[in-house]
Amino acid sequence: MAGMGFGNRFRYWFDGMTARGAGAMIIMLFLATVLLILLISSMVTASGEDPLNREFPGIAWASLMRALDPGSMADDQGSPFFLLSMLAVTIGGLFVVGTLIGIITTGIENRLGAMRKGRSFVAERGHTVVLGWSSQVFTVVSELVEAASSRRKSCIAILAEKDKVEMEDELRVRIPRRGGTKVVCRTGCPIETLDLEIVNHRDASSIIILPPDDDAPDSSVIKTMLALLNNPARKAGPYHIVSIIRSPGNLKVAEMVGGSEAQLILAGDIIARITAQTCRQPGLSGVYTELLGFEGNEIYFGHEKLLANEPYSRAVHAFEDSCLIGLIDSTGDILLNPSADTVIGDDSRIVVIAADENAMKISAIQRVLVHNDHMTAGPETPPSPERILLLGWNRKVPMIIHELDSYTARGSQLTLATGQVEMGATALENLEVTVRRGDITDRPFLDSLDMNHCDHVILQSCSEQLPPQQADARTLITLLHLRDIRRKGGHSFTIVTEMLDERNRRLAEVYNTDDFIVSDKLVSLLLTQISENGKLKSVFRELFDPDGSEIYLKPADIYVKIDVATNFHTIAASALKRGETAIGYRTCEGVFINPNKSRQITFHTGDRVVVLARD
């Protein structure tokens, strides 16, 4: 075994110094240069061999210049001892300068490499932090960019276990236009407290946790929340955390971890409710997509002193380019679609659908033009039993069936056609469920399902058995068969299809009569809305609750006369008489939310009015 000799100790010390980085190595070179110059200068001074008879400071300066510039000794004259001394300084200088250049070059390369790795600190305040990377990140970032379009500048910081350059390249391709929003990518693990420091999460206005595309997304979300909230160096104030939980069984645990600082969205529950509602109301998916996205109309909160002590029935007509849909009382409770005689208090805030915050302006408190002679008071057709075909299987299917049971009339029938059934016994009041086993991409099996009297078809993605693109491919094959069956058989059933990727939805979208539920996109839109305003969660909870005020598309002829030009003020007044709030309409041209209230509209048979109602 080698002893603790001087050579071993020196090598050990040298290795330790070099391991400290470029700064320590530069200090070592500086000290080596100083020792060399002091040694040579002392020897020349003591020998008296300097041809210019300079003192020690002059000889030391000349030696330093020779060390830094080897060419400066070309014209030296003197004794052999002096020339050899200057040669030693020059050779030492070549070593020092060459090594210094190498250290500086290596240091710069290492720094650039570190920047490429995405490990530098994000020096921002009031930014949005996105933790994790999944297929949802593109929708989230694009919506955050759209939400910040009216601001001078904003920043989105993404931290994920993915190469920084790869993240930037993918975002650049999918989201080329970002306005004044800076998107910063950093590489790190969201559950590591040291990595979280990189994105400066303490100064962020909101934190979005994206569940990964793997078999245990909820555990990653919970661990990330623990890393944020249980950090000894966490910020003093509350965080604003928004995330998605996939499994209902994990929601309670996630709520215990997040407490009041986390807004959690149960993705399957939301998509199940939207699917069940859209199944029976074609066009409803377009309404939700517009309200959840930042492009178009969104939901805002405001305070208007001019509306104090005014009844809700008059306040509805006070906005020309916005739709009043509810109130927030002094206690913070949100009431959507209140009764027409509800008086707005001095401290009450209003809930409005508008294109942006600047559009929430009162245009008229006085009486507006309402065509009372255009109104109708026709009763709604009572619900009758329906026949529904549900194709495919995933964990949302039992929730969809449960939601359909809340909306359909007693005696309705549902046929569940799938190659995999995991649903146990469920107590249903209105639906009779029949299970048919088979491959939903097989045309003979689809033909055997007897769609002659079918009212609605729901096509679910097999998202838990296959990767997203393969699952969407199977869904697309089944959808093409269904469209062909509907066309050849002259059927009129509606089709609601769940897609996982928005790009595949665009490939499949041919007919306006079909609805698409792009589950990840809708959840991502909701996630982004709540990250910008946490109070919106209560609004959307009410909209998705069967016991609350939900969005309905009802026949236009129960509100106003058909084939007669009227305005939206008249539609709104007619809806108020029925205890509803009108927010738009649907014609053959599409769905229109928050229309101008004075513009003339002529409804035809089959057109519908979009309202908030309790049934």
Q: What is the CATH number of the domain that holds 234?
A: 3.40.50.720
Specify the residue for token string 């030696």: 63
Is residue 517 assigned to a domain?
no
Answer whether residue 11 is part of any domain: no
Strand partners, 497: 459, 516
Lowest mean pLDDT of 21-25, 212-216, 350-354, 371-375, name the range: 21-25
Are 109 and 162 in a shared domain? no
Which domain covers residue 242, as residue numbers?
A: 128-271
pLDDT of 229 above 80: yes
170 and 265: one domain?
yes
Is 391 found in the same domain as 369?
Answer: no
Whose tokens are 């998605």? That residue is: 244
Q: Has residue 36 been placed in a domain?
A: yes
The DSSP secondary structure of 189-244, one letter per residue, reads -TT-HHHHGGGTGGG-SEEEEPPPSSS-HHHHHHHHHHHHHS-TT--SS---EEEE
Asked whether residue 170 falls in the same domain as residue 193, the answer is yes
Q: What's the first-to-final CA gap in the chain, in angstroms? A: 88
Taking residues 344-349, what's their average pLDDT? 89
Q: What is the pLDDT of residue 513?
A: 59
In a domain, 502, yes or no: no
Query: Is 415 within 8 Å of 389 (Cβ atoms)?
Result: yes
Average pLDDT (133-147) is 92
> Does 152 share its domain with 238?
yes
> Can you give the CATH number for the domain in which 42 is found?
1.10.287
* pLDDT value, residue 115: 62
Strand, coil or helix: what is 86? helix
**Is-contact 336 611, C-beta < 8 A?**
no
Q: Is residue 575 in a domain?
A: yes
Number of C-beta neighbours around residue 174 at 10 A: 13
Query: 176 is written with which tokens?
Result: 């080329």
Quick one: 172 and 265 in the same domain? yes
Across the range 477-483, mean pLDDT stands at: 93
> What residues contact residue 293 under an 8 Å CB cut-off, 6+ apart?
143, 146, 525
User: Residue 516 pairs with which residues in a beta bridge?
Assistant: 497
- Give the separation between CA 598 and CA 610, rounded to whole angstroms: 17
Single residue among 445, 468, 492 that ends a domain in this structure: 492
The answer to the question of residue 304 being in a domain is yes
- The reply to whether 253 and 146 lie within a common domain is yes
Q: What is the CATH number of the domain that holds 312?
A: 3.30.70.1450
Residue 423's pLDDT is 60
pLDDT at 497: 92
What tokens appear for 76 in the block?
Answer: 């030296």
The answer on 362 and 245 residing in a single domain is no
Assess if residue 512 is contained within a domain.
no
Q: Would you state the structure tokens that stand for residue 312, as one six-digit string?
A: 């809700």
What's the pLDDT band for 505 if we cut at 50, 70, 90? confident
Verify that 201 and 218 share a domain, yes or no.
yes
CB 45 within 8 A of CB 71: no
Rounded Cα–Cα distance for residues 454 and 22 (Å): 75
C-alpha span between 23 and 292 (Å, rounded): 52
The pLDDT value recorded for residue 42 is 85
Q: Which of 540, 530, 528 is nearest to 136 (CA)?
A: 528
Q: Mean of the pLDDT values across residues 410-432?
A: 82
- Co-location of 370 and 438 in the same domain: no
Per-residue confidence at 510, pLDDT binned at 50, 70, 90?
low
Q: Are 348 and 330 in contact (CB under 8 A)?
A: yes
State how far the Cα of 289 lies from the Cα of 518, in Å rounded to an integer.
Answer: 10
Q: Cα–Cα distance between 490 and 134 in angstroms, integer?
A: 41
Tokens read off for 596: 């101008």
Least confident of 117-126, 572-581, 601-610: 117-126
Say if residue 309 is in the same domain as residue 337: yes
Between 487 and 90, name the one with better pLDDT. Answer: 487
- Count the domains in the chain: 4
CB atoms within 10 A of CB 546: 15
% of the chain at pLDDT higher than 70: 94
Could you read off the pLDDT of 66-94 as tens digits, one per residue? 777 765 555 667 777 777 777 787 887 77
Burial 391-409 (b: 16+ CB within 10 A, else e): bbbbebbbbbbbbbbebbe
Q: Can you give the pLDDT at residue 1?
A: 45
- 80 CB contacts (<8 Å, ≥6 apart)? none
Q: Which residues contact 29 (CB under 8 A, 6 or more apart)?
A: 96, 99, 100, 103
Same domain as 311, residue 190? no
For residue 419, being part of any structural domain is answered with yes
| Mean per-residue pLDDT of the chain | 86
Residue with tokens 């003197």: 78
Q: What is the DSSP letter of 104?
A: H
